[in-house]
């Protein structure tokens, strides 16, 4: 299966569809991630705080796919922000994963009240220079946080991974990303499953002979977003990657655009308050 990729601002390519493993137990992660790789996913999104990096690393070794064909993302947890602590946390993540490098390393949250994210970013810049984090980015950063990174270091994150789904479309932040060459990656792309009963999405799904989950994933892809749906159920893992045989039309895109509840659609924590 040839899957689409997006170009990052450092010249590298990233698969547009990936597999998220939040709330997957370490003991189950190996089986579930192997299932995902067998189903066709080539990008895996974990984080130190998910406590499943060992299980994910084991899946990568057992999957029978060359390491070079996989795109592995992990994230630095808030307690480890700061220049030296971030470097140590990165080493610990690589050790748990059993890898020599990751494809993408993200600062998980700005936690701006700690005032450590700019120094943390300097540590990530050095990890990239050393080639151990092949690309670097952030997660849950708002415009002022991003602006501060540009102003202080001149290095623009390759990716900002943010909550994004049809009820919370983040148009202003997406426009800022586009202006500055930052790829937008959607977390909780299915609204943690809450969107799957929506009648207008169900109608679009019937029209295409697909499921609501597939329609939502297609909406992210058709908007040029990177999307990382999660499931621990093998049939749904396969369903969520079976999205490359249809496209949404202009009517579908308009109907989904109308579902945006702006700030009211947010499900997860607000980065302004999560400190
Ligand atoms: P999601 O929007 O991907 O929804 C996952 C849930 O939807 C599943 O647990 C399941 O209940 C349901 N589901 C999935 N596929 C389905 C299908 N085909 N049919 C029916 N139900 C289905 O939610 P998520 O796990 O919160 O987000 C995806 C990934 O994003 C995470 O695993 C993680 O990697 C990442 N994430 C990052 C952050 C961050 O702060 N950076 C925060 C949350 C999530």
Residue 273 belongs to a domain: no
Q: In this predicted structure, what is the pLDDT of residue 32?
A: 98
pTM of the model: 0.98
Residue 270 belongs to a domain: no
Has residue 212 got a pLDDT over 60? yes
Pocket of ligand 1 (CB under 6 A): 20-22, 45, 108, 139-140, 161, 187-193, 196, 213, 228-231, 236, 239-240, 268
Binding site: residue ranges?
Answer: 108
Average pLDDT, the chain: 97
Ligand 1 atom closest to Cα of residue 187? 30
Residue 237 belongs to a domain: yes
Q: Which token pair is 2?
A: 């040839």
Q: Which domain holds residue 103?
A: 5-9+12-260
Residue 113 belongs to a domain: yes
> Could you report the per-residue pLDDT of 12-58, keeping only the tens digit for each?
999 999 999 999 999 999 999 999 999 999 999 999 999 999 999 99
Has residue 2 got a pLDDT over 80? no
Binding site for substrate: residue ranges?
Answer: 108
CATH classification at residue 187: 3.20.20.100
Number of domains the chain is built from: 1
pLDDT exceeding 70 applies to what percent of the chain? Answer: 100
Nearest to 140 by CA among 105, 167, 111, 169: 111
Cβ contact 102:74 at 8 Å: yes
Residue 275 belongs to a domain: no
- Alpha carbon 125 to chain centroid, angstroms: 19
> Could you report the per-residue pLDDT of 65-124, keeping only the tens digit for each?
999 999 999 999 999 999 999 999 999 999 999 999 999 999 999 999 999 999 999 999
Separation CA 67–CA 188 (nearest Å)? 26
The complex's ipTM? 0.99
> Could you report the per-residue pLDDT of 165-185, keeping only the tens digit for each?
999 999 999 999 999 999 999
The alpha carbon of 269 and the centre of ligand 1 are apart by a number of angstroms equal to 15
Has residue 130 got a pLDDT over 90? yes
Q: What are phi and psi of 220, to 5 degrees?
A: -60, -45
Residue 269 belongs to a domain: no
Among this protein's residues, is 50 annotated catalytic?
yes
Residue 70 belongs to a domain: yes
Ligand 1 atom closest to Cα of residue 139? 41
Residue 1's pLDDT band (boundaries 50, 70, 90)? low
Residue 274 belongs to a domain: no
Q: What are phi and psi of 140, to 5 degrees?
A: 65, 25
The alpha carbon of 20 and the centre of ligand 1 are apart by a number of angstroms equal to 7
């Amino acid at each position: 299966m040839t899957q689409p990729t997006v170009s990052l601002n450092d010249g590298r390519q990233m698969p547009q569809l990936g597999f998220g493993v939040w709330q997957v137990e370490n003991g189950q992660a190996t089986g579930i991630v192997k299932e995902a790789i067998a189903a066709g996913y080539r990008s895996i999104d974990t984080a130190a705080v998910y406590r499943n990096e060992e299980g994910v690393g084991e899946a990568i070794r057992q999957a029978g796919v060359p390491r070079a064909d996989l795109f592995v993302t992990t994230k630095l947890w808030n307690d480890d922000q700061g220049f030296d602590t971030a470097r140590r946390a990165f080493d610990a993540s690589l050790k748990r994963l059993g890898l020599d490098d990751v494809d993408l390393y993200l600062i998980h949250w700005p936690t701006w009240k700690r005032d450590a994210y700019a120094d943390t970013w300097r540590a990530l810049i050095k990890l990239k220079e050393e080639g151990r984090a092949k690309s670097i980015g952030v997660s849950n950063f708002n415009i002022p946080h991003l602006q501060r990174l540009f102003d202080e270091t001149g290095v623009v994150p390759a990716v900002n991974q943010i909550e994004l789904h049809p009820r919370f479309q983040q148009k202003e932040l997406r426009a800022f990303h586009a202006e500055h060459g930052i790829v937008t990656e959607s977390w909780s792309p299915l609204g943690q499953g809450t969107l799957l009963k929506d009648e207008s999405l169900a109608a679009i799904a019937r029209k295409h002979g697909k499921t609501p989950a597939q329609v939502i994933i297609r909406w992210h892809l058709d908007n040029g977003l990177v999307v990382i749906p999660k499931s621990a159920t093998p049939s749904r893992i396969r369903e969520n990657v079976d999205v490359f045989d249809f496209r949404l039309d202009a009517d579908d895109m308009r109907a989904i655009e109308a579902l945006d509840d702006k700030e009211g659609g947010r499900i997860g924590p607000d980065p302004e308050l999560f400190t």
